[in-house]
Amino acid sequence: MDKNLPDASATNRKLVVLTLGLLCILQAALNISLRLALYSSDAPDYDAVIRNLTEERDQLKRKLKTFDHYTREGWVYFRSSFYFISSDTKSWADSRYDCLQKGADLVIINSKEENEFTRQLNRSFWIGLTDTETEGTWKWVDGTLLNSTTSYWYPGEPNPKYYPDENCGEARYNYNENNWNDNNCKTLYFWICEKKVA
C-alpha cells in the first residue's frame, strides 16, 4: 500500500462514528420534540413530525450504505466526492472509459483544496481536461470551460506552440502548487475517477 495515500480505513471509522452520532442526535431531537408537543397547546401534527424524522433517518442510512459500498471498492472520500485512484496506466481515452464504466468520470479539479488533495498522491495522473475540440480551449469532461481562477497549469504550460499534439490534461509536477501539464492523449498514465455524491 502506498504510504502517501490517505488512510481510508481511519476515515471510514470516523465517518461511521459520525453517522451513528448523528442518528443519536436525531433520536434525541425526536424525543424532545414529542415531549414539547405534549405540553404545548399548539401541538404540531405528530404524524408529520415522525414522518420528517423518519425520512431524515432513512436518508442518513442510505448515505452510510453508499459510503460503505464505495470504500469497500477502494474509493477514497473527500468533500462530497468519491475518488478512485488507478493502480495501472492507460491512455486518456481508456482511462476515461474505465471511469465511465464505474459510473464516474475523470476527476474535475475545481478548487484549491481539491488540487491539494490530488497532489498528495504524489504521482502523475490523467485529469478530466482536454482541448481536443478546439486547440487552446480547455474543457472539462462535463463540457464546462476551464475557469482561469481555478486552473493550476505549471509555468509554461500548456505549450501548444511547441507540442501541438498535447491535448489532454495531467497532474504531473506535484512538488508545485501549479502542477498541471498538457500531454499527448495516447501516453500511458495513472488516472483518477471522481463520483460526486449528493
**110 and 27 in one domain?**
no
Per-residue pLDDT, averaged over 2-29, amounts to: 69
- Asked whether residue 95 falls in the same domain as residue 151, the answer is yes
Who has greater pLDDT, 73 or 193? 193
Residues 191 and 99 reside in one and the same domain: yes
DSSP calls for 6-44: --HHHHHHHHHHHHHHHHHHHHHHHHHHHHHHHH-TT--
Q: Give the whole-number percent of the chain exceeding pLDDT 70.
A: 88
Is residue 119 assigned to a domain? yes
pLDDT at residue 66 greater than cutoff 70: yes
Residues 192, 107, single domain; the answer is yes
Q: Which residue has the higher pLDDT, 15 or 122?
A: 122
- Domain boundaries, position 145: 80-196
Per-residue pLDDT reduced to its tens digit, 112-135: 999 999 999 888 999 999 999 999
Same-domain pairing of 30 and 120: no
Length of the chain: 198
Same domain flag for 135 and 85: yes
26, 44, 72 — which closes off a domain? 72
Task: Express each pLDDT in 70-84 by its tens digit.
Answer: 777 889 999 889 999
Contacts of 169 (CB under 8 A, 6+ apart): 126, 127, 128, 129, 130, 138, 180, 181, 182, 183
Q: Are residues 97 and 159 in the same domain?
A: yes
pTM: 0.68
Residue 40 has pLDDT above 80, yes or no: no
Q: For residues 191 and 188, what is the distance between their CA atoms, to the nearest angstrom? A: 9
